Each structure stands twice: as C-alpha cells, then as structure tokens.
Structure 1
Amino acid sequence: MSQVETADAVDEAGAAAEVREPGPLWTLGLFRSELTITFRRWRTLALLGVLAAVPVLIGIAIRIETSDGGPVGNGGGEGPAFITQITNNGLFLVFAALAATLPVFLPMAIGVIAGDAIAGESNSGTLRYLLVAPAGRSRLLLAKYATACAFCLVATLVVALSALVVGSMLFPLGDVTTISGTQISFADGLMRAALIAAVVAASLTGIAALGLFISTLTSSGIAAMATTVGLLITVQILDTIPQLHGIQPYLFPHYWLSFADLMREPLHWDEVLRNLGLQGVYAAVFGSAAWARFTAKDITA
C-alpha cells in the first residue's frame, strides 16, 4: 500500500471515529428526542391528566363540604391538614394537592415512565436500533434518566398549577399564614409554593433511578412498571410499621412530606436536606447499578 493510500485510510478511520464519538450537542439532541417521544405518548398525557384532576376533585369536594359554612378536616397545619386552610386561602390547595399526590399518585406515575424506559424499547424491538446509532449505551441511559427526571418536574408542576388555578377560582386569595402562625405576603407564598414544588420534584428522583434500574433487568415494559410500583407500595408499608423505625430513615419515601417545614417561619431545612440527600444516594446507587447492568447487557431486541 502506498503512502497516499495509507494516509487516505487513516483519514477515513479518523472520520469514522468522529462519527462514533458524538459530541455534547448530539447528546442534547438525543435527550430532546427522548423528551419529545415521551411527552407525545398518550399514556404520558393520560398520567398528567389524572394528576391534574386530583386538585380539581379536592377543591370541589372542599367547596361542597364547606358550602354551609362548616369546617373541613381536623386541623394541625401539616401534610393533608393543609386542607383546613384552603377555605381561607386558595393557595393552600397547592400544598394540600402536593401532599395528597406525593405518597401515591406522583411516584406511581414516575414508576410507569421510568420502568418503561429501557424495557419498553426492548419489548417493542427498537432498543437495538437505538444502539446502532452513535448513541452509546451510557449516553442513551443518561438521556433516559434525564427524561424521567424531567417528567418528575413536569408532573409536579401540573399538580401545582392545576391546584393554583382551581384554588383561585373557588376560594379567596391573600396573605398566607404559615405553620408558625406568622403572616407572609401572597407573593412570598407563591415563592414558597414554587420552592416546595421543586423539592417535591427532587424527592422523586430516587424512585426514578430505581425504576430505571428495574427497567434494565427485563425486556417486558409491563413487568418493569409493575415491579417498580409494587416496590413503591411495599416500601410505603414498611415506612408505617413502628417496629421498623430503625430502618425507616433510610427508606426513600420517609422524608417526602418534610416539605411542610418550608411553610414555617423561619424555614426549617433539616429534614428537607435529609430528604434531598437520601434521594441523591438512591439516584447514585441505582443509577450506577442501571449503568453496570445496561452496559453489560446482551441486547437481542
């Protein structure tokens, strides 16, 4: 082979290497593609529709219950007891709706999306074709997890915005009385609501990583989704058994409702930070497990 032919071969190999090594912009394009596909699915839209309906049902139920001037709930100021404040200020419907959906509805929706991320592609026969493109398994997995986290944020915002609209239509708005008994302005209350929505979305990143890991273990999307939701229910039950108090602080849903501390004056961050740290640990552990499994998996479909 002549020197010219050798140089041409080297140039062709270099060009091929450039194709096989996609840059950051290509990775962002992969994430954008995954995001578009996920949010165009009827299943995703149906899940968001159900989540948006929860604040509507809560608001209408409270409006009907208090139409005769009677009280609602049993007081206390935290978690579901935010409901007792809704008739005085519709902004509290945001907090009550997030508290009502966080234990079950939101994580179940995340479990469906994350559980289907890899297993659904394998079941439909598209996973192998995705890997034929210059994506790389690590980049594809990262794009899938980023999409699941984006869904965490969107789902939380859907609940919060639906509750804000319904609360403003059915109940008065004004200055907000915190759990500590002090008053803050409505603008400050809106900022607290945005902060709480962000914390709730971050609280779901642990279950998203767990669902993604389970999705790499099977080729059945339905099995992955069912397993993720089943584990969620099991862990929720374990978190309510008093005899297991020793392990409960390490269960991912244990501090989910700690966002109520952000409605105190001043803000109480201790349990909120524990919650965020715990979700980070779950995301790191199960994200690494998903990467280890997916990069070594024999893709046949």
Structure 2
Amino acid sequence: MATPTDQGAARKTGPDPRTGRGPSPLWTLGLFRDELVTTFRRWRTIALLGVLAAVPVLIGVAVKIETRGGSSAGGGGGEGPAFIAQITNNGLFLVFTGLAATLPFFLPMAIGVIAGDAIAGEANAGTLRYLLVAPAGRTRLLLTKYATTMTFCLVATLVVAVSAFAVGALLFPLGELTTISGTRIGFAEGLGRALLIALVVAASLTGVAALGLFVSTLTNSGIAAMATTVGLLITVQILDQIPQLHALQPYFFSHYWLSFADLMRDPVYWDGLVRDLGLQGLYVAVFGSAAWARFTTKDITA
C-alpha cells in the first residue's frame, strides 16, 4: 500500500489534473534514465559485465601461453572458437573470438538475467505498484524495461569487444587482416567490421530479451523468472544440436547466432545474417506482444 509520501510524489510526476494530459516525453526519458541508472548500479549487473570482460582476457592469455614456444594456436586441429588460430597473426581477431566464445552462453545468460528480473524483480521488491501509481502506464513501463534491457545488450557486447581489442593489442601484433575468403583488408576496415559484428551480435540477442521479458510478466519472483529464462536458453541450445530436430532448428532463436562470421568474408555473405535478424524480429514481435498482453491484464498485487 502506498504511503502518503509515495502518493504525493506520484501526483507530482503524474498528469496535470487540470488538463488530464499524460506524462511528457521528457518525463518518459527521465523514467528511462532512472531505469538505466538503477540497472547499471546493481552489483549483479557489474558482476555480469566483469565476467564478460574477463572471457577475452582469459582467451588471449591462454593463446599467448600456448604459442610462446612457436606452436600455432589450436594445435592445428581446428579446436576452439572461430578465428582462434588467427589471433597470433593479428590481435584484432581476439574480438571475433571473444564474441564467438561468449555468444552461445555468457552473453545470452546475462541478458536473460536482466530481462527476467525486469518486471518480476519489481513485483518481488514490492515496487511495481508504486511505479504504476506514478502514471508511467503499463505499456510505457514495459517499453522502458525492454529499452533498458536492449541497452544492456549493447553495453555487454561492447564490453566484450573492447576488452578483447585491448588485450589483443597488448599481446599480439595489429595490422592487415586476412579474411575467411583468403583476401586481405586494411586494419581500419577490419576495425569497422569488428564494430559491425558487435552491433550484429547485440541485435541477435533481442529475441532472448523479449522472451525473458515475457517470462518476467508471468511471475512475481525475480529469481524464478531469471532461472526460467536461462533454463529455456540452455534447453534451446541443446535442442539445436540434435540432428533429428533439423526441421525445427531454423526456428530456434540461437540457430543463426554465429552467422556474424560471414561479415569476415570477402564479399560478405548476407543470407545467414538476414535470416538471423529476421528471426530475432519475429521473436520480438511474438513475445513482445505476449508480454504486453499479459502485463496489461495482470492483477498487480505487489
């Protein structure tokens, strides 16, 4: 139950009683800013970003140690993430390797935690009703939560890319890159492709974010929502490896995730990328709509 102080604060941020107008765009931006500050100040968020930043460091150090005696990375057997054998020739390849290593599990797990806690965490803390008393409106609040999750997607991906680039520059030489197709491109173009790959990886996580947000509207337990989202992620990843399910696999949100490697071909292969982004758009439409339908009709008791 809201206290008089809470109600007074809500009236100050609410519509003008004389005009009946809703919150202004600046008020909406303020809500989004507050959500960003709240999300990125949590120790859980900082820890997730720290783990993501550490993965490229571990890969870079491991490759450096393995190749210290002059042997090639991966032992020539093709083990490890894509591009790992090229890291010793150009540190920029650590960006591609870091993203390839974190995309199957670490990045989507972090997104699942943030998305799963978006609504359920507020309900569990007893603050959801107060957010709705201040006339954010359910649709506006849901969109703000999703925008915050998507911002985390971008930040998390860039943290991996920047960490990988810094470690790659410190431990390995930089210069022209050899593409998967065998052609050579300049360092500036390679850096541009690395940035584009990071953006594509962030966009590839929009489906997981929408799924997690939908799960978050189904329960008042933030832990349950996070666990369910991560569990679904792991289940889909396992199902995507079973040959007997090949007819269904193109519809799994993770199926085309590693198609970003096609950006390192010359010319670029766009088919897998288009399928990936189109599939993510479908998941956003379906689970975003489901989240809206659930949240706008949900009986808020916490």
TM-score (norm: length of structure 1):
0.93
1:164-183 aligned within 5 A: 164-183=165-184
CA contact (8 A) 1:77 1:179 kept: no
1:1-301 aligned within 5 A: 15-16=16-17, 18=19, 21-73=22-74, 80-301=81-302
CA–CA distance in structure 1, aligned partners of residues 30 and 154 of structure 2 = 20
* 1:138 partner SS: helix
CA contact (8 A) 1:79 1:257 kept: no
TM-superposition CA deviations, 1:61-99 (whole Å, max 9, x none): 000000000011166989813100000000000000000
Following superposition, the deviation at residue 15 of structure 1 comes to: 3.7
CA–CA distance in structure 2, aligned partners of residues 282 and 72 of structure 1 = 37
Following superposition, the deviation at residue 24 of structure 1 comes to: 2.0
CA contact (8 A) 2:82 2:100 kept: no
Following superposition, the deviation at residue 56 of structure 1 comes to: 0.3
Provide closer, same or farther for how the CA distance between residues 295 and 20 of structure 1 changes in structure 2, counting only shifts above 3 A.
farther
Following superposition, the deviation at residue 26 of structure 1 comes to: 1.5
CA contact (8 A) 1:157 1:197 kept: yes
TM-superposition CA deviations, 1:157-188 (whole Å, max 9, x none): 00000000000000000001000000000000
CA–CA distance in structure 1, aligned partners of residues 168 and 100 of structure 2 = 15
Following superposition, the deviation at residue 29 of structure 1 comes to: 1.4
Residue identity matched to 1:225? M
Residue identity matched to 2:153? C
CA–CA distance in structure 2, aligned partners of residues 118 and 75 of structure 1 = 48
**Segments of 4+ moved more than 3 angstroms:** 17-20, 74-79
CA–CA distance in structure 2, aligned partners of residues 272 and 124 of structure 1 = 40
- In our comparison, the structure showing a higher alpha carbon Rg is 1
* 2:81 partner SS: helix
Provide closer, same or farther for how the CA distance between residues 287 and 38 of structure 1 changes in structure 2, counting only shifts above 3 A.
same
Q: Extract unaligned runs of 5+ from structure 2.
A: 1-14
Q: Which residue of 2 aligns with 1:7?
A: none
Q: Which residue of 2 aligns with 1:8?
A: none
Aligned residues: 288
TM-superposition CA deviations, 1:16-42 (whole Å, max 9, x none): 164651122221111111111101111
Give the fraction of aligned pairs with identical amino acids, expressed as a percent.
78
CA contact (8 A) 1:79 1:99 kept: no
Residue identity matched to 2:195? A
CA contact (8 A) 2:112 2:226 kept: yes
Aligned-residue RMSD, C-alpha: 1.5
CA–CA distance in structure 2, aligned partners of residues 296 and 76 of structure 1 = 55
Residue identity matched to 2:81? P
Provide closer, same or farther for how the CA distance between residues 18 and 54 of structure 1 changes in structure 2, counting only shifts above 3 A.
farther
Residue identity matched to 2:58? L
Residue identity matched to 1:298? D
Q: Extract unaligned runs of 5+ from structure 1.
A: 1-13
* 1:139 partner SS: helix
